[in-house]
Amino acid sequence: MSETTQPTTDQPLETTSGETTEAVQDEWRNHSFDGATKLAVEDLDVHYGEEHALKNISIDIPEQSVTALIGPSGCGKSTFLRCLNRMNDRIKAAKIDGSVELDGEELYQDGVNLVELRKRVGMVFQQPNPFPKSIRDNVSYGPRKHGDLDTSLFSRLLGRSDEAAENELVERALRQAALWEEVSGRLDDNALGLSGGQQQRLCIARTLATDPEVILMDEPASALDPIATAKIEDLIDELSEQYTVVIVTHNMQQAARISDQTAVFLTGGELVEYGDTDQIFENPESQRVEDYISGKFG
């Protein structure tokens, strides 16, 4: 890893404006973005055994916006994303220190209900991973499992059956994921018969069906063709009116197009710069970020 020519953090001047890295980081740590803070990450460190995968990350993520995480392979983007809904808990070797607050509530404390947390902070992965079940079942699976289909006595008294409640939920989520028009006539077909781009939108619908507040996406369009990618990008733009979206992408143009804020991680698990997307792409403070964005390394 140290074979690359990028400067190390102890070199005093490595920003385009000639300030120290510390000064730049202090600035963005104190920068307040538009909108209330949804996720507040403070002094986050992740180790996998001996490996220090994320180093002292502090970042505030504002609600109802899109935050892009970019950086070279292995710099810790997926690790960071998984910290936001405690998915790293499932990895035995992972040791997490520091704080992540969701709406001011600490996620890393005893007694947090992880099932509830992952409903509030849903996740969409790089490879579409629908269940080998019908399109309808894929969407209604989560709410059924959590007992959230509207099956209350009150609904029954009003004459609403489980089936009607399920149909309504499935249609709402599929419409939100911009897939309804394409699948409304074949809801009972196996989801594995959909195209890759359709499967990914189905996975987004499945996440939306559990009524999340935050949606984490790890390179959701990297396996898709340009048309399917454009659909996902439009969808993300729409979702950000209601949800807080945090997305990892290797596609710089995509980050520039769809995000409000961009966080740049670089090799070694450091968050080097975080700011408004326009500023990061047009006028980054850090020389290393400028080099990365202009393709000099990465």
Residues found near ligand ATP in the complex (CB under 6 A) = 48, 51, 53, 71, 73-79, 91, 93
Number of residues that bind Mg ion (CB under 5 A): 1
Is there binding between residue 78 and Mg ion (CB under 5 A)? yes
Closest contact distance (angstroms) between CB of 127 and Mg ion is: 12
Which 3 state secondary structure label does DSSP give 134? Answer: strand
CB 274, min distance to ligand ATP, A: 15
Specify the residue, 60 or 218, whose C-beta has the smaller distance to ligand ATP: 218
Q: How far is the CB of 32 from ligand ATP (least distance, A)?
A: 27
Residue 75 near which of Mg ion, ligand ATP, none (CB within 5-8 Å, type-dependent): ligand ATP
Cα(98)–Cα(83) distance, rounded to whole angstroms? Answer: 10
Closer by beta carbon to ligand ATP, 57 or else 228: 57
8 binds, among Mg ion, ligand ATP, none (CB under 5 to 8 A by kind): none
Report angle CA 291, 292, 294 to the nearest 5 degrees: 65
Burial of 147 (0-12, 13-18, 19+ CB in 10 A): exposed
Closer to ligand ATP by Cβ: residue 74 or 146: 74
Q: How far is the CB of 219 from Mg ion (least distance, A)?
A: 7
Rounded Cα distance between 127 and 218, Å, is 9
First and final C-alpha spacing in the chain: 11
Rounded CA-CA distance 83/181 in Å is 35
Binding mask 8-47 for Mg ion (x = CB under 5 A): ----------------------------------------
Smallest gap from residue 81 Cβ to Mg ion (A): 8
Nearer to ligand ATP, 71 or 130 (CB): 71
- The CB-of-96 to ligand ATP minimum distance in angstroms stands at 12
Nearby residues of 53 by Cβ (< 8 Å), 6 or more positions away: 46, 47, 76, 79, 269
In angstroms, what CA-CA distances link 194 with 64, 169, 203? Answer: 30, 20, 11
Kindly state the smallest distance separating residue 223's Cβ from Mg ion, in Å: 13
Confirm if 222 and 70 have CB atoms less than 8 A apart: no
Among residues 57 and 117, whose Cβ is nearest to ligand ATP? 57
State the Cα–Cα distance between residues 42 and 196, nearest whole angstrom.
Answer: 37
Half-sphere exposure of 144 (CA within 13 A, CB side): 13
| Residue 244 β-bridge partners | 214
The stretch near Mg ion (CB under 5 A) out of 75-83, 101-109, 166-174, 262-270 is 75-83
Nearer to ligand ATP, 53 or 209 (CB): 53
Residue numbers of the site for Mg ion (CB under 5 A)? 78
